[in-house]
Amino acid sequence: MYRKKITLVGGGQIGGILALLAAQKELGDIVIFDIPKAEGMVKGKALDLMQLRPHDGYDSDITGTSDWQDVVDTDVFIITAGIPRKPGMDREDLIEINLGIMQDVAKNIKKYAPKAFVIVISNPLDAMVYAFYKISGFSKNQVVGMAGALDSARFRSFIAMETGFSVQDVSCMVLGGHGDTMVPISRLATIGGVPVAKLITPERLKDIENRTRVAGGEIVKLFGNGSAFFAPAQSAIEMAESFIRDKKRVIPCASLCEGEFGINGYFIGVPTVIGSKGVEKVLEFDLNEDEKLELNKTINAVKKTVAETGL
């Protein structure tokens, strides 16, 4: 059987968990790529994961490398290359260093695997996914950013924690940029189909929305050195799985909008269908006046960060 090839560019905190989750789901064979200085680390992680195989019973091959030649024929890239936040930093503070890294990564992916589907996780996400798209010249179907999947998972978790009901039955979405201006759409949140507004007071719902907006920062503060990795990794794996298995899941993702929601030429978190063709469709729906105002704010924030890339 033909196995898909998944390359994780950046084998640090998120990269390591991505490899574990991709293997446990048997999404394909996995290459963990990192810079030469970190080659030993990714080779070690790969070997460690190979030795976990007897317990989990998966047959994915996992290798570590710092040689771009090894990414040839990759079907899906997940990019976490870059530095994470430290306490007191906004995601935007990472732009200078991570943009330089993204230049290097995008050029090499274009050279060695021009047909691949690419999921970007590196922050500031809205600018990094835009940078990858511009530098690589890939089509808009091939490039997507992981943000809304994570922000929505955080929103879902907080709603489940508040009500005590199963997180499995909580359905909701967060749109917009991956920063403090993101837009949790509480109006459409449900638990088992029951509108969340029937189950949580407006005041508590506002608190939950606000906690969602700064949920990444809450973890950065607790860690003191680095940012979240378990939930970000699983969020990206769900996107990769939808592509590999052509599931056509509808996931809030940073997708290139060309008119949808009145947005033009920017990657913004919107409900996105991911299937074997990559980003297959953005699902539009009517926003109310408050949501439109909030979306406008987030678009302006994204435009500002993107402008800093000079691309």
Q: Of residues 45, 85, 178, 213, which has the active-site annotation?
A: 178
Residue carrying the six token digits 């940078």? 131
Nearest-approach distance from CB 273 to ligand APR, in angstroms: 24
Nearest-approach distance from CB 150 to ligand APR, in angstroms: 9
283, amino acid identity: L
Q: Which is nearer to ligand APR, 127 or 191 (CB)?
A: 127
Nearest-approach distance from CB 226 to ligand APR, in angstroms: 5
Q: Which residues pair with 72 in a beta bridge?
A: none
In this structure, the dihedral spanned by the alpha carbons of residues 15, 21, 22 and 25, taken in order and rounded to 10 degrees, is 180
Q: Which is nearer to ligand APR, 83 or 188 (CB)?
A: 83
Q: Which is nearer to ligand APR, 13 or 186 (CB)?
A: 13
Q: What is the secondary structure of 82-131 as a DSSP string?
A: SPPP-TT--GGGGHHHHHHHHHHHHHHHHHH-TT-EEEE-PSSHHHHHHH
54 to each of 36, 57, 60, how far by Cα in Å? 29, 5, 11
| Six token digits for residue 149 | 């999947």
Q: Which is nearer to ligand APR, 121 or 189 (CB)?
A: 121
Nearest-approach distance from CB 174 to ligand APR, in angstroms: 16
- Quick check: 177 and 145 in contact, CB under 8 A? no
Nearest-approach distance from CB 168 to ligand APR, in angstroms: 25
Closest residue to ligand APR using C-beta atoms: 12
8, amino acid identity: L
Residue carrying the six token digits 């033909």? 2
Q: Which is nearer to ligand APR, 181 or 276 (CB)?
A: 181
| Catalytic residue list contains 178 | yes
Nearest-approach distance from CB 17 to ligand APR, in angstroms: 8
Q: Which is nearer to ligand APR, 122 or 142 (CB)?
A: 122
Q: Which residues of 146-177 are buried (b: 16+ CB within 10 A; e: fewer)?
A: bbbbbbbbbbbbbbbebbeeeeeebebbbbbb
Distance between CA atoms of residues 141 and 68, nearest Å: 23
Distance between CA atoms of residues 269 and 266, nearest Å: 10
- Quick check: 281 and 273 in contact, CB under 8 A? yes
- Contacts with ligand APR, residue ranges (CB under 6 A): 9-15, 33-35, 38, 80-85, 94, 98, 101, 104-105, 121-123, 226-227, 229, 232
Residues labelled as active-site residues: 178
